[in-house]
């Protein structure tokens, strides 16, 4: 499935970039994320593990405790699906949404990880989510919101699909006041 030529081109370039960074992990390693204790990316995953634990403590479990039964969650910009996998282990179900369909660290990995978990993988952009109005209990942008090309449209779309009393959570998404600061981050 193709979303658009521009998104397809971005997806291909991004997969190549992620592979060069060493992000391609076997499914069993992805299943252990965010707890990656060795290798060149271990320090980054240490930060993600702390963010994930704060998210579980401050958002996920309180929200789940307020409702009845499992929550319907959206993992937006899901990549390899590690967060969806963790949400499923907590007893929830939903969609892992991404614009890419590669096997480097995209839904190609997530499909194998999430088989039988209650989570599906869907290709879609942040600005056109394949979900009916007010149906999600939780929408999570996990290290992904900074990829939005229209932040207002993206957040309005997330708000459209989250039910009253639900939550939109944003984890590990860097934003910069000046373009030069973002460019410097990319260079390093």
Judge whether residue 2 has pLDDT over 80.
no
User: Could you give the CA distance from residue 162 to residue 167 in angstroms, rounded to a whole number?
Assistant: 7
Region 55-79 average pLDDT: 93
Digit-coded pLDDT (tens) for 15-62: 777 777 777 777 788 899 999 998 888 999 999 999 999 999 999 999
> Domain total for the chain?
1
pLDDT of residue 17: 75
- Mean pLDDT over residues 69-78, rounded? 94
Please state, for a pLDDT cut of 70, what percent of the chain lies above it: 93
Over 60: is that where the pLDDT of 186 sits? no
Cβ–Cβ < 8 Å for 14, 100: yes
Question: In CATH, what number is assigned to the domain containing residue 132?
Answer: 3.40.50.150
For 81-109, the pLDDT digits (tens) are 999 999 999 999 999 999 888 787 778 88
Range of the domain at 100: 5-187
In three state form, how does the secondary structure of 55-107 look? HHHHHHHHHHHHCCCCCEEEEECCCCCHHHHHHHHCCCEEEEEECCCCCCCCH
Q: Model pTM? A: 0.88
């Amino acid at each position: 499935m193709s979303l658009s030529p521009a998104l397809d081109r971005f997806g291909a370039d991004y997969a190549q970039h992620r592979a060069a960074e060493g992000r391609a992990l076997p499914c069993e390693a992805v299943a252990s994320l965010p707890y990656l204790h060795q290798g060149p990316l271990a320090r980054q995953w240490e930060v993600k593990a702390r963010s994930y634990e704060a998210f579980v403590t401050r958002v996920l479990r309180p929200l789940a405790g307020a409702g009845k039964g499992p929550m319907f969650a959206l993992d937006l910009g899901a990549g390899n699906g590690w967060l969806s996998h963790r949400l499923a282990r907590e007893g929830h179900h939903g969609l892992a949404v991404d614009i890419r369909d590669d096997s480097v660290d995209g839904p190609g990995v997530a499909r194998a990880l999430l088989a039988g978990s209650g989570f599906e993988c869907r290709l879609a952009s942040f600005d056109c989510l394949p979900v009916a109005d007010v149906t999600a209990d939780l929408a999570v942008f996990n290290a992904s919101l900074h990829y939005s090309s229209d932040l207002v449209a993206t957040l309005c779309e997330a708000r459209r699909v989250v039910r009253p009393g639900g939550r939109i959570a944003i984890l590990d998404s860097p934003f910069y006041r000046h373009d030069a600061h973002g460019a410097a981050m990319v260079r390093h």
